[in-house]
Amino acid sequence: MENIIICRCSDLSLKDIRDLIEDGYTTVEEIKRISRAGMGSCQGRTCSQLIMREIAKITGKNISEQKDSVTRPPTIGIKLKTIADGSEDND
């Protein structure tokens, strides 16, 4: 289970995710906050569905009943300088 990668961006294995679920982190949002899964460059596009499947397996809560994690801008990594420069023509 340690060589099954669930979150490629933050290098989290299936074991890491299962341990978190067993510890009581049973939503994608909670797992994201405690482990950073879904906060890397893929922004959860790869890992969140795999995590939801594991939550379903362990807790019995179907994917359709689970809450997705919150998505916020920006969708990709961007330099702080770019945002700061963009504020010059703020209107």
Partner 1 sequence: MKHVDIAVIGGGPAGLCAAISGASSGAKVLLMDRSEKLGGQLIKQTHMFFGSEKQYASVRGFDIADILLDKLNEYKDNIEIMNNTNVLGLYEDGVITIERNEKYEKIKPKSIVVATGASEKVLAFPNNDLPGIYGAGAVQTLMNVYGVKPGKRVLMVGAGNIGLIVSYQLMQAGVEIAAIIDASPTIGGYLVHASKIRRMGVPILTSHTVKEAIGRDCLESAVIWKLDENWNPIDGTEQEIETDVMCISVGLSPLSELLQQAECKMKYIPELGGQTVLRNENYETSVEGIYVAGDVSGVEEASSAMVEGYLAGLCAAQKIGFKHKNYNELKEDYIKQLESLRSGPIGHHIRSGIEKVMGV
List residues binding partner 1 (CB under 8 A).
3-6, 8, 14, 43, 45-46, 49-50, 63-64, 66, 68, 70-76, 78-79, 82-83, 85-87, 91
Query: Helix, strand or coil for residue 12?
Result: strand
Least CB distance to partner 1 at residue 74 (A): 4
**Nearer of residues 4 and 58 to partner 1, judged by Cβ:** 4
**Nearer of residues 24 and 74 to partner 1, judged by Cβ:** 74
Least CB distance to partner 1 at residue 79 (A): 7
Least CB distance to partner 1 at residue 72 (A): 7
CA dist 69 and 41 (Å) reads: 15
Query: Helix, strand or coil for residue 47?
Result: helix
For residues 50 and 31, is the Cβ–Cβ distance under 8 A? no
Q: At 88, list the tokens.
A: 């010059």
